[in-house]
């Protein structure tokens, strides 16, 4: 297996998933059904939304809950863009780092239609969830002295993540033949097959427009 940078990878159209590890146990951790993501994170979303309604809603009204929830969702869309552009598409030169980045995202670009590698595996998503919650708490509760806003904002962030993961799976494996869904499917597949250095938004082109990674003209 060649540990190429993402920009150098050639598309693999075979149905058999590319094997990443000799160990069956380690290999199993690289495959996940999208339903597992829902089972893990929908309860987290509901818990933090409930806390927001009880804590912030009681103190400032449900309009404040909706505002915090929407802000958290918006923060996710920016996080999605930044991670995809600067983390997933970071191209290291050291062989070990190239292998790590191939595991994180390169294999998806080499074999984009592999059904079991379209959502983030729990071995990554769970630690990241704790990390982002700590960031929300630090910024909102400590930095802004508004602890009641943490829960609904984080709930919105989790909804953004779930939207991203489910849309990503759908963009590769469901028809999405009308309206905005058709647009998003085409938008993401163009990222894979035509403009891998542009169109980093998966659930929205918003930040591609803001940061100039939306190709000009008919591309």
The verdict on residue 9 lying in a domain is: no
Query: Mean per-residue pLDDT for 176-188?
Result: 95
Phi, psi of 167 (to 5 degrees): -65, -40
Q: What is the DSSP letter of 83?
A: I
Q: Label residue 176 left, alpha or beta by phi (over 0 means left) and psi (-120 to 50 means alpha).
A: left
The verdict on residue 22 lying in a domain is: no
Bigger pLDDT: 218 vs 8: 8
The verdict on residue 23 lying in a domain is: no
pLDDT per residue as tens digits for the range 5-58 = 676 778 888 889 999 999 999 999 999 999 999 999 999 999 999 999 999 988
The verdict on residue 15 lying in a domain is: no
The verdict on residue 19 lying in a domain is: no
Residue 4 has pLDDT above 70, yes or no: no
Nearest to 6 by CA among 109, 160, 145, 127: 109
Residue 3 has pLDDT above 80, yes or no: no
pLDDT per residue as tens digits for the range 103-147 = 989 999 999 999 999 999 999 999 999 999 999 999 999 999 999
Query: Mean per-residue pLDDT for 140-169?
Result: 97
Q: Model-level pTM?
A: 0.93
Phi, psi of 13 (to 5 degrees): -100, 5
Range of the domain at 120: 40-211
Residue 2 has pLDDT above 60, yes or no: no
The verdict on residue 142 lying in a domain is: yes
pLDDT per residue as tens digits for the range 47-88 = 999 999 999 988 899 999 999 999 999 999 999 999 999 999
Overall number of domains in the chain: 1
218 pLDDT band, cuts 50/70/90, is low
pLDDT per residue as tens digits for the range 196-210 = 899 999 999 999 999
Q: How far apart are the first and last CA of the chain?
A: 31
Which pLDDT score is estimated for 215? 87
List, in order, residues 6 or more apart from 79 with CB less than 8 Å away.
132, 157, 160
């Amino acid at each position: 297996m060649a540990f190429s940078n993402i920009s150098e990878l050639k598309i693999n159209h075979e149905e058999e998933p590319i094997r990443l590890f000799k160990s069956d146990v380690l290999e199993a951790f690289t495959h996940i059904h999208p339903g597992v993501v829902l089972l893990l994170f929908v309860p987290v979303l509901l818990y933090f939304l409930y806390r927001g309604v009880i804590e912030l809603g009681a103190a400032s009204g449900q309009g404040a809950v909706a505002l915090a929830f929407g802000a958290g969702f918006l923060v996710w869309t920016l996080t999605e863009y930044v991670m995809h552009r600067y983390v997933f598409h970071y191209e290291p030169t050291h062989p070990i780092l190239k292998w790590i980045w191939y595991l994180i995202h390169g294999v998806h670009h080499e074999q984009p239609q592999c059904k079991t590698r379209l959502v983030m595996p729990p071995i990554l998503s769970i630690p990241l969830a704790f990390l982002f919650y700590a960031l929300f708490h630090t910024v909102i509760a400590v930095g802004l002295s508004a602890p009641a806003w943490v829960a609904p904002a984080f709930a919105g962030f989790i909804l953004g993540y779930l939207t991203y993961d489910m849309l990503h799976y759908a963009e590769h494996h469901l028809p999405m033949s009308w309206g905005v869904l058709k647009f998003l499917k085409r938008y993401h597949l163009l990222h894979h097959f035509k403009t891998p250095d542009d169109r980093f938004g998966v659930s929205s082109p918003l930040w591609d427009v803001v940061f100039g990674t939306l190709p000009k003209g008919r591309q």
